Amino acid sequence: MDKPVVFAVDDEPSVLAAVTRDLRRHYGSDYNIMRAASGADAIEALRELRLANQAVALLLVDQRMPEMTGVELLREALGIFPDAKRVLLTAYADTDAAIRAINEVRLDHYLMKPWHPPEELLYPVLDDLLDDWQANFQPAFEGVRVIGHKWSADGHRVRDFLARNLIPYRWLDIESDAEAVELRSLAGAAEEPLPVVILPDGTSLSRPTIAGLAERIGLHTRAVSETYDLIVVGTGPAGLASAVYGASEGLRTLLIEREAPGGQAGTSSSIENYLGFPVGLSGADLARRAVAQARRFGAEILTPMEAVRLESRDGYHVVTLSDGSTVASQALIVATGVSYRLLDVPGADRLAGSGLFYGAAITEALGVKDQDVFVVGGGNSAGQAALYLARYAKSVTMLVRGPALAETMSQYLIERINEIENLSVRTGVAVSELHGEQSLEEISIREADSGAVSRVPGRAVFVFIGAAPRTEWLSGTLQLDPQGYILAGPDLERDRSKRLNGWLAQREPFWLETNIPGVFAAGDVRRRSTKRIASAVGEGAMAVQFVHQHLRGPAAPQRPAQAAGT
């Protein structure tokens, strides 16, 4: 954090220069000495300092100034930096005004001009006040601040993006936090739509797009080069593992990520079965470590950026990105995993982000403090989320379609769930409708056996009802199964004579290779993959070995005579 500020204000240039010089001499090493020649300039500077999250320790202000007196200035400053120490510089005739100001603007001291010698008349007073200020000073939060409505979809979108990209931020609820109202108006955004995002440099954005926000917070959204040895699409465990092995083995590697590094695993509150972490670790922690590792080996990561098209020509794979630019490589690994399946009931579209959340248990946990919340789904991801939310919410109810958790959830999670008092499980039920105009208010729940529907109050529903690949951008290029999973290696479909349509290489496809030589699939997006972090990491690492073999040229496995059509 920058040094706290000591701010001097006087309209007389010679006096202002003298007081600033004396302040710098004694306090310059520990404080940033700033000055202004009028009350209006001072107020503007103080507002900017506040928006930029700087601390102001002391205001030393002349009483007699045209347009705005010292006391008037301190009165305004009180609203901007209420904890700053306030000292008035007065002439003898101003004594009455100074005494009145003690109560009026909580004046800490008034000093008679001239203050020379400062060692006797100025520094002892200010030393004392600054010691007092330091003793009570709590450094301000230095990251991004987001001001918005608690249950707004736009607010959720921004918060989720920041959280998943591991950008520290502070959330200020406009309805319950006076500071939120004040900061919004200081930022000149009182009439602007929410959410308002205040960046660490004090500038602000009103209802930003994710791409606009990403650029302003310094995420890397443009590729440095046009061509790479290896492009990896998706930065879940599979993509990150590919990048770590690829980059560490000398391949110029580019990673492309639509949302945030970590993929599904990044949204997990506690991963307990990943080898080498006996007490578990959070998905965010795993993502942070893996990203650091990939970057250390020189991998480049573009985020948020979506791959929207793939073309292969002349041995190069050209990926079109959502901003219209293209990047090309000799080898490509598709590691795009799966995305949450959406709840298909009335009200779900309208309330997504305003009480209905997909994943996002970590982002929203603090927001559901003391609320009754619901988790829909009976798999491990639902179990992990329910356990995490139970630490914050008043109560958590799991709504499970099947007759028992044991059919879909690991035993260690079931045992944990049974131990938690404010966490209950309802089996044989499904959500049939969500109610509320601006935000979720009630939930209709249908009993599978009787068909009876009950309507219960609820502010938040977290949905974990499985996932599906989003590979529409690859259809027509790669072989996909009816659900959209990518076929690779032994799964590739061949014609009657075992010929692989369109296959151009003089060898058989490698195990993770798709129907285009040099394009591989790894992790959850691959048909018949094991939906586990360790398997995704393993496939990511293995795919890189095949990439090396592909780049080395025509090599084993050789195409069998009949498949080669000879």
Q: How far is the CB of 247 from ligand FAD (least distance, A)?
A: 16
Grouping H, G, I as helix, E, B as strand and the rest as coil, residue 120 is helix
For residues 105 and 254, which CB has a smaller minimum distance to ligand FAD in the complex? 254
| Residue 235 engages ligand FAD in binding (rule: CB under 6 A) | yes
- Of 116-124, 128-136, 511-519, 532-540, the segment contacting ligand FAD by CB under 6 A is 532-540
φ, ψ of residue 438 to 5 degrees: the values are -80, -35
Alpha helices in 59-152 (DSSP H): 70-80, 95-104, 118-121, 123-136
Instruction: Determine the size of the site formed for ligand FAD (CB under 6 A).
Output: 37
CB-based contact 254:247 (threshold 8 Å): no
Q: Residue 114, preceding bond cis, omega within 30 degrees?
A: yes
Residue 318: CB atoms within 10 A of its CB come to: 18
CB burial readout 388-409, b (16+ within 10 A) else e: bbbebbebbbbbbeeeebeebb
For residues 264 and 330, which CB has a smaller minimum distance to ligand FAD in the complex? 264
| Residue 536 engages ligand FAD in binding (rule: CB under 6 A) | yes
Q: How far is the CB of 375 from ligand FAD (least distance, A)?
A: 11
DSSP 532: S
Return the residue of 39, 155, 234, 355 that touches ligand FAD, per CB under 6 A: 234
For residues 101 and 230, which CB has a smaller minimum distance to ligand FAD in the complex? 230
Return the residue of 39, 118, 246, 263 that touches ligand FAD, per CB under 6 A: 263
DSSP 304: S
Residue type, 159: R
CB-based contact 463:377 (threshold 8 Å): yes
CA distance 58 to 5: 7
Query: Which parts of 356-415 interact with ligand FAD (CB under 6 A)?
Result: 380-381, 384
CB-based contact 202:500 (threshold 8 Å): no
Return the residue of 85, 207, 258, 317 that touches ligand FAD, per CB under 6 A: 258
Q: How far is the CB of 53 from ligand FAD (least distance, A)?
A: 31
Q: How far is the CB of 51 from ligand FAD (least distance, A)?
A: 33
Q: How far is the CB of 337 from ligand FAD (least distance, A)?
A: 2
| Residue 71 engages ligand FAD in binding (rule: CB under 6 A) | no
| Contact partners, residue 340, CB within 8 Å, separation at least 6 | 358, 359, 463, 464, 465, 466, 467
| Residue 69 engages ligand FAD in binding (rule: CB under 6 A) | no
CA distance 234 to 259: 9
- Of 170-178, 196-204, 519-527, 552-560, the segment contacting ligand FAD by CB under 6 A is 519-527
- Of 127-135, 177-185, 330-338, 368-376, the segment contacting ligand FAD by CB under 6 A is 330-338
- Dig out the tokens for 168 from the structure: 């520290």
Q: How far is the CB of 445 from ligand FAD (least distance, A)?
A: 22
Residue with tokens 């879909």: 408
| Residue 256 engages ligand FAD in binding (rule: CB under 6 A) | yes
CA distance 546 to 238: 14
CA distance 153 to 162: 14
For residues 94 and 513, which CB has a smaller minimum distance to ligand FAD in the complex? 513
Residues contributing to the site for ligand FAD (CB under 6 A): 233-239, 256-259, 263-265, 267-268, 271, 273, 306-307, 335-338, 380-381, 384, 470, 473, 523-525, 531-534, 536
